[in-house]
Structure 1
Amino acid sequence: MQSIPRSEFYAGVKATLPLIVGAIPFGIIFGTLAETSGLSAWGAMAMSVFVYAGSSQFIALGLLAAGAALPIIILTTFVVNLRHLLYAANLVPKTGHLPLRWRVMMAFGLTDETFAAVSNRFLRESSHSTAHWFYLGSFLAMYGNWILCTFIGIVLGGLFPDMTDWGLDFAMSVTFIGMVVPYLTNRPMWGAVLVAGAMAVATAFMPHKLGLIVAALCGIAVGLSLSLRQSQRTKTLQEAE
């Protein structure tokens, strides 16, 4: 690995480490729940290796425990992960120049944490030519952590059956807050976050977590509107001068 790709790779790992801290309890809890939900230890590990989608894996466990049919499980997890379309749409203009093998890897490795880390990288630096190495570092760090924590959870689940009552899941909420706060630097960002948060609460009753999609779209619409209005105001002031 050459010097620039290597530095980008390790920068991606470093940027993701604080987010990994919040994901550790989440992965461990998944491992502890697996066997009690009817999924074998090997099945839990395979899900973390090949599916690699935290919230969808938890939902799949709940549906599996309830005896839901396989098509229902697949459809529900698909709907929950629709938010990744928003992430992908943001990244497409910055990754379109990459070979297919890179874009396939990036599609598989796209998570909330990696998207947050990579988006911050794009905001800080205008050059995108080596940013895919940053993405790779972030992805592998989070991916390795998720698989390891799933294994730890499976082991600890046999030793401490009541681990799910310890309240470890609070760390994930803190992680998401930490991912959002650095971006709250202007009015459009604040507007998007506040509207999305309010809509997420107001639409919590919707099935299959569809409220998250509605909240995201509303937040995007408000943020974009405020951004366009801000740009128009700046343009008007420049023309007046």
Structure 2
Amino acid sequence: MNKKVFVNAVKAIMPMCIGDFPFSFIVGALSITMGMSVWQSTTWSCIVLAGSAQMVALNMLKNGANLGIIILTTFIVNLRHILYSASVSSHVKTAPLWKKIFLSYALTDEAFAVTIKELGENKASKYFYYFTVMLTFWFFWVLANFMGAVVGAAVPHIEKYGLDFAMIAAFISIVIPQIKSQACTVAAVVATMSGVLLVVLPYSLGILIASLLGVIAGLCVDLAEEKKNLASSLEKVA
């Protein structure tokens, strides 16, 4: 039984492991250009396990942002995980505390996408399935980061090879598929335009302000859509 669940879980997450491998490799390589050692980069990847946050942090470090601004910005970037947690919480209410801690640690975009259906079906093997997905993705993510850091440390002046552009391209490739509604579209457009207009601000404050403006704009559109749908439903009832 567990063998079948293990195989199914690995098969489900493997395409995302392969897709994210270059992403983590780039993060590892670029972290070396920011002054990290190979082991610092690898440990950072083990703890954070969040590609978008790591890329944003590296870009802000490159532009001389202070630690407080970096922490606040990466916090805003990762706010989407609150929604993931809300979706998962109803399926893991009876889980012991230690399981919930590990569930929250590994709640990445990829893990959520692959496991939410399995958790919702409330099978006896759902936690084994989740942890298999989590550990498989974690292993390949950290391995890619380590390999990227080793290459970054071995190649002199690796920052001259334009890997920072690859980082931006990878981030765009992650964001674009998530734009599936009017609210997301508005948030993306507002954040992008604000980021371009505010690029002159010091300490990468433009990224922080643009992120906040994007979130606020998307929320306003989402609330307006809900209000419109509610009014439409009341009219039908009347």
Counterpart of 1:156 (choices 146, 151, 155) is 151
The superposition leaves residues 135-161 of structure 1 with CA deviations (integer Å, 9 ceiling, x where unpaired) of 212211211111001011112223382
- The farther-off stretch of 96-105 and 53-62 is 53-62
Structure 2 unaligned segments of length 5 or more: list them. 196-206
Structure 1 residues 133-172: aligned runs within 5 Å: 133-157=128-152, 158-159=154-155, 161=158, 162=161, 164=163, 167=166, 170=169
Report the Cα distance in structure 1 between the residues aligned to 2:222 and 2:94, rounded to whole angstroms: 26
Partner of 2:95: 98
CA distance in 1 between counterparts of 2:20 and 2:143 reads 11
Correspondence for 1:40: 37
Distance 1:80 1:11, change over 3 A: same
User: Matched residue of 1:127: which SS?
Assistant: coil
User: Unpaired segments of 5 or more residues in structure 1?
Assistant: 181-189, 237-241
Structure 2 length-normalised TM? 0.75
CA shift in 2, pair 1:172/1:96, >3 Å: same
**TM-score w.r.t. structure 1 length?**
0.74
Kindly state the Cα deviation for residue 74 of structure 1 after the two structures are TM-superposed: 2.1
Aligned-pair identity (%):
32
Give the drift of 1:109.
0.5
The one-letter code matched in structure 1 to 2:163 is T
User: Deviations 1:107-135 (Å, cap 9, x if unpaired)?
Assistant: 1101111111122435xx63354322222
Match of 1:193 among 181, 190, 202: 181
The 1:34/1:133 distance shift into structure 2, 3 A limit, reads same
Read off the aligned partner of 2:128 and give its amino acid letter: W
* Alpha-carbon displacement from aligned partner over 1:51-87 (angstroms, at most 9, x marks no partner): 1111111222223333333333222222221111111
| Backbone CA RMSD of aligned residues | 3.3
1:12 and 1:225 mapped to 2: Cα distance?
40
**Could you tell me whether the CA contact under 8 Å between 1:200 and 1:212 is conserved in 2?**
yes
Moved more, 160-169 or 199-208: 160-169
The answer to whether the Cα contact below 8 Å between 1:194 and 1:219 also exists between their aligned partners in 2 is yes
Query: What is the match of residue 64 of structure 1?
Result: 61
1:100 CA drift (Å): 0.6
Counterparts in 2 of 1:142 and 1:71: CA distance versus 1, 3 Å: same
Q: Distance in 2 between matches of 1:118 and 1:227?
A: 30
Q: 1:24 to 1:6 in 2, by over 3 A?
A: same
Instruction: Report what 2:204 is aligned to.
Output: none
Distance 2:5 2:20 in 1: 22
Question: For 1:11 and 1:221, how far apart are their aligned partners in 2?
Answer: 39
Alpha-carbon distance change, 70 to 171 in structure 1, aligned in 2, over 3 angstroms: closer
Aligned ranges 1:211-222 → 2 under 5 Å: 211=213, 213-214=215-216, 217=219, 221=223
Give the conservation status (yes or no) of the 8 Å contact 1:12–1:138.
yes
Q: Which residue of 1 aligns with 2:21?
A: 24
